[in-house]
Amino acid sequence: MGDGDTQVVGIGVDSTDVRPGEAFIAVPGFTTHGARFADAAIASGAILIITDKAGREHLTSQPAALIEVTDPRAIVGTAAALVFGYPARDLELCAVTGTNGKTSTATILHQILRNARGEAGIFGTVEVRIGEDAAYSPRTTLEASLVNRLMSLARERDVTTLVLEASSQALHLGRLNDLQFDIAGFVNLQHDHLDYHHTMAEYFEAKAMLFEPNMCRSAVICIDDEWGAKLAARVAVPHLTVSTGADADLIARDVGPTAAGMRFTVLASDGEHPIEMPLTSRVMVQNAMVAIGMARRAGVSWETITDAMRVANPAPGRMEVVQARNETHPLVIVDYAHTPDALEALMPELRALTPGNLIIVFGSDGDRDQAKRPLLGKIAADQADLLYVTDESPRTEDPAAIRAQILAGVREVRPDLAGVIEDTESRTHALTAAILAAHPADTVVVTGKGAEQYQVVGTENRPYNDVPVARAAIEQRQQA
pLDDT, one tens digit per residue, over 398-432 is 999 999 999 999 999 999 999 999 999 999 999 99
* b/e map 302-323, b = 16+ CB within 10 Å: bebbbebbeebebbbbbbbebb
- According to the annotation, is 101 in a ligand binding site? yes
pLDDT at 266 (0 to 100):
98
Band of pLDDT at residue 168, cut at 50, 70 and 90: confident
Element (H, E) at 320: strand 320-323
The answer on pLDDT for 197 being more than 90 is: no
Q: In sequence order, what are the residues at sequence separation of 6 or more whose Cβ sits closer than 8 angstroms to the Cβ of residue 396?
A: 366, 367, 458, 459
Give the mean pLDDT of 97-116: 94
Band of pLDDT at residue 391, cut at 50, 70 and 90: very high
Band of pLDDT at residue 142, cut at 50, 70 and 90: confident
pLDDT at 282 (0 to 100):
86
N- to C-terminal Cα separation, the chain: 64
**Distance (Å, whole) CA 382 – CA 39:** 54
pTM beyond 0.85:
no
Nearest C-alpha neighbor of 22 from the set 146, 127, 107, 136: 146
Give the mean pLDDT of 85-104: 93
Give the mean pLDDT of 457-478: 95
- According to the annotation, is 61 in a ligand binding site? no
Give the mean pLDDT of 354-369: 96
- According to the annotation, is 175 in a ligand binding site? yes
- According to the annotation, is 167 in a ligand binding site? yes
- According to the annotation, is 141 in a ligand binding site? yes
The answer on pLDDT for 191 being more than 90 is: no
Cβ–Cβ under 8 Å, residues 229 and 188: no
**Distance (Å, whole) CA 304 – CA 307:** 5
pLDDT at 57 (0 to 100):
86
> How high is the mean pLDDT of the chain?
92
pLDDT at 64 (0 to 100):
80
pLDDT at 143 (0 to 100):
85
Domains by residue range for the chain, with CATH: 2-83 (3.40.1390.10), 87-310 (3.40.1190.10), 320-479 (3.90.190.20)
**Distance (Å, whole) CA 111 – CA 311:** 9
pLDDT at 7 (0 to 100):
83
pLDDT at 2 (0 to 100):
42
Digit-coded pLDDT (tens) for 33-55: 999 999 999 999 999 999 999 99
pLDDT at 4 (0 to 100):
45
- According to the annotation, is 100 in a ligand binding site? yes
- Higher per-residue pLDDT: 15 or 4: 15
- According to the annotation, is 98 in a ligand binding site? yes
Digit-coded pLDDT (tens) for 252-278: 999 998 877 899 999 999 999 999 999
- According to the annotation, is 207 in a ligand binding site? no
